[in-house]
Structures are given as C-alpha cells and as structure tokens.
Structure 1
Amino acid sequence: MTAISKKIYLALLPLLFIAQSCGVYNFTGGSIPENMKTVSIQFFENNAPLVVPNLSQSFTEALKERVRNQSRLSLVRGDADANFEGRITDYNIKPVSITGNSTAAQNRLTITVSVKYTNTLKQEDSFEQTFSRFKDFSLNDGSVQTQEQPLIRAINQMLTEDIFNRAFANW
C-alpha cells in the first residue's frame, strides 16, 4: 500500500463509520408501529383566557405538518389508527425581568396545550397530557404585535416536537 492510498484509506474509514451509523438511527417516524397507517388530528380549540384569533388554526396546522414531515402516516378525517385531539388552555405574556425604571427588560410568551392521544392499535400507548412551552423576548426588538406571530411559530414548533416525540418516539 502506497503512502497516498494509505492516507485516502485513513480519510475514508471514519466517513464509512459515520455513514454506517446514520443508518442505525431513525428519528424520522420515531417508533411508529408498522401496522399504523393513518392518523387523525382534530381542530385544537382555543380556550385560553387571552384569545389570539389565529392560534387554534396555526397550532393545528403545525401539528399536521409535523406528522406529515416526520412520519409515513396518512392524515385522515374521522376514524384512524391514531388520533390527536385537545385544546389550547393558556396563552399569556408576563415580564420575566425588570429594569431599574420598573419596565420589563424581558417578557415571556407561554402557550399551554392539553392533548389527548389515542392509539387504537395499542391502547397502552395512549395518553392525556398537558404540554407547555415559552419563548422570551424584549420590547427593544419591537412591539408585542410585531413579534407575536414569529414567537407563536417558534413555540408551536417546540410544542409539536414534544407531542410528536411523546406519541411516536416514546420520549
């Protein structure tokens, strides 16, 4: 073996191990049973004391998008192998740190969702759980109204990841 071929071999060997190890882990789809083919996601009604008009729609669509992008399941209306339903129970904005002149230096937007997941194929995997996530923001970056939609999208992403992982990755 020449010195050049030895260097190429040593450079490619770690890549081979990396490529091989990537095939072992599958985060897309989690541990969805082979016989599970369909999922139904009901509209998540907003029952929070502070109501944001598009929050129900954006959360429901974010959960559908998560399932579409990270699983092989078909979204259906009505009876399915798995079903998500629930409601948004809280939406609030609170100061988390105060400046010397009694104004909020940082604020926190929190969204809480109550979820009922029913696995019709394996009842012991079903659950009812509350999920809550938050995002901190500063009014120095703009008004609440200008920051609200990007904050909601970010929180919805975190919430749907938690819900998906709880249902399908057993986390």
Structure 2
Amino acid sequence: MSGCGIYSFNGTNIDPTIRTVSIGTIQNNAPNGPAFLTQRFTEDLKDYFQRNTNLKLVPRDGDLQFDGNVVAYDFAPASIQKVDGIDQAGSNRLTIQVKIRFTNTKDDKQSFEQIFQNFDDYGAGRNIATINSDPNAVRTTTNKIITDIFNKSVANW
C-alpha cells in the first residue's frame, strides 16, 4: 500500500519533511487568569503534540513553531433565572481566549495568527475563586482550545 506520505491514522496531515516542533511559553496576559495558567497551558500543548504526532519537540527553531498568549479569561453569568422574583445566575461560564502564532517553516501558506476561544459552564454555586483553585476545572476548557490549535495547524480541519 503506497501513498503520498502525508496521511496518518491520527488525523494529522504533516508533510514528511517536517520533523520538529517548538512551542514557546504561552504567557498569561489576562488580568484575572490563575497563576498556574502559563505553565499548565504550555506543558499541555507540548504533551498533546508529543502524544499525537511523531514530531520531535525542540526548544526553538522547530519546523513548526508555536507561540502566543492568553488574552482573555472571563467568568460571567451564563443563564439568568428568576428565583422568588429576583434575577440570579443559573450557571456561570468560564471563557478563555488564546492568541496563537503558528509558523510552518516548510510552507508559509500554512502559517497563521488566530485567537482560539472555548468555554465551560459551572453551577451557580461555584465561584471564580473555587474554579481558579481547581486546575482540573480550567483544564477542561484549555484542552478544547489545544485540540482546536492542533486541528488547525496539523490536521487541516
């Protein structure tokens, strides 16, 4: 069975001449984002690429290069409900936006700069302090963003 050499069963569409990836620290520039967000997001992005590609992770100057920053981290009421005639939040939504600069050194037409956004809703009883102190709560949202970044950059979805 022969083919063009760029198809794989994990959904990636990586040219065989691409062998390395470098992922810079994704800085947290959102004023209310938790302190752990920079390290957690960066490490999770690296881990995702290592688990889902055969690319070698290098500190800099990879064939594929990522850098960026968290630009928004917002927690706001998602659904308002009347309780005894008073408007109250039925749930609260955490929305995270990450601006990513992706450079494909082998094919610049594939390079992009884009804001990726995703969210999760939490019960009205959970406030931002409890969510921020639970890294796994934030991780559900960041994992969706990481999947979107992966799909846009190497799966061409």
The number of residue pairs the alignment matches comes to 146
* In 1, Cα distance between equivalents of 2:71 and 2:131: 21
* Native 8 Å contact 2:75 2:128 kept in 1: no
* In 2, Cα distance between equivalents of 1:26 and 1:83: 21
Q: TM-score, normalised by structure 2?
A: 0.86
> Of the candidates 48, 57, 79, which is equivalent to residue 39 of structure 2?
57
> Of the candidates 51, 55, 64, which is equivalent to residue 73 of structure 1?
55
Q: Whose strand fraction is larger, Structure 1's or Structure 2's?
A: 2
* In 2, Cα distance between equivalents of 1:77 and 1:147: 31
1:8-56: CA deviations, max 9, x gaps? xxxxxxxxxxxxxxxxx84526001111110000001111131310111
CA RMSD of aligned residues (A): 1.6
* In 2, Cα distance between equivalents of 1:147 and 1:119: 35
Unaligned 5+ segments in structure 2 are 1-6
Unaligned 5+ segments in structure 1 are 1-24
Identity %: 38
CA shift at 1:96, angstroms? 1.2
Q: Tell me the secondary structure at the aligned position of residue 102 of structure 1.
A: strand
Q: Whose helix fraction is larger, Structure 1's or Structure 2's?
A: 1
Higher Rg of the two aligned structures: 1
> Of the candidates 122, 130, 138, which is equivalent to residue 146 of structure 1?
130
Q: Tell me the secondary structure at the aligned position of residue 42 of structure 1.
A: strand
Q: TM-score, normalised by structure 1?
A: 0.80
